[in-house]
Chains A and B, each alone.
Chain A
């Protein structure tokens, strides 16, 4: 590029070089790790009472509320993250949908006082106003995620598997930028 006097830098990272880590990463007061829960369900029902009858337990009714692993994402939609080997009744013949989506998503966990800053670097929602124990679907940059605030400084992020590698590295980049 000597002729024009303009130097074009090589692309810093190509997509093929990105790896989804398995070990926790710590930087700038933030710890990024893979979440433990491996069983996920998507629940749909027009009438929550029917769904509660199938599950044999209460489900949160207000959008954004969570209760023991069940998050209410919409007026007729719930998302469930449970420990290994958990099985929910399917409610055959009833107007509900209980679908095992365990293979669809991965969970990432951001912990520490800087976690909110890292999440806010790519999320347009005002997450400081998301109370502890609340969860919501939103976007990080252009990737759809479910953000679950499990404690003041602990955020569980559910992301579809094919986006997880990118999100993992985007979080690490944001952690380095926040340093």
Chain B
């Protein structure tokens, strides 16, 4: 079982307490009515699906209940870091 560090609880907690929430940092359009069908499709369905570092959302649903962001390697399953929702994207390792 993985241990995931919750940035709100500030401790490592067992994986089964968490729910995966999809790719992070996807901004909802401010005015969706101006979007074409292609742009709307892009926003709704198209994801980066990388091999390697992936910014993603998780929710500590059986704990503090909060959504937060994580950087996880999709190959090794190693969590590089986790940070609170609303904080800036962690672009590179350690930055």
Q: Is B78 an interface residue (CB 8 A)?
A: no
**For residue B10, which residues in chain A have a CB less than 8 angstroms away from its CB?**
63
**For residue A74, which residues in chain B have a CB less than 8 angstroms away from its CB?**
8, 63-66
Contact A137 B64 (CB under 8 A): yes
Q: Is B17 an interface residue (CB 8 A)?
A: yes
**Chain A interface size, under 10 / 10 to 19 / 20 to 34 / 35 or more:** 10 to 19
**Those of B57-95 within 8 Å (CB) of chain A:** 62-66
Q: Is A100 an interface residue (CB 8 A)?
A: no
Q: Given A64-B9, A139-B16, A139-B17: A75 and B66 within 8 A (CB)?
A: yes
Contact B8 A138 (CB under 8 A): no
Q: Is B14 an interface residue (CB 8 A)?
A: yes
**For residue A139, which residues in chain B have a CB less than 8 angstroms away from its CB?**
16-17, 62
Q: Given A63-B8, A64-B9, A75-B8: A124 and B66 within 8 A (CB)?
A: no
Q: Shortest Cβ distance from A124 into chain B, in angstroms?
A: 4
Which listed residue (A63, A124, A125, A144) contacts B64, Cβ 8 A?
Answer: A63
Q: Is A118 an interface residue (CB 8 A)?
A: no
- Roughly how many angstroms separate A73 CA and B17 CA in the complex, as a whole number? 13
Among the interface residues B8, B14, B15, B63, which one has the most CB atoms of the partner chain A within 10 A?
B63
**For residue A125, which residues in chain B have a CB less than 8 angstroms away from its CB?**
13-14, 17
Q: Given A63-B8, A63-B9: A124 and B16 within 8 A (CB)?
A: yes
Q: Is A77 an interface residue (CB 8 A)?
A: yes
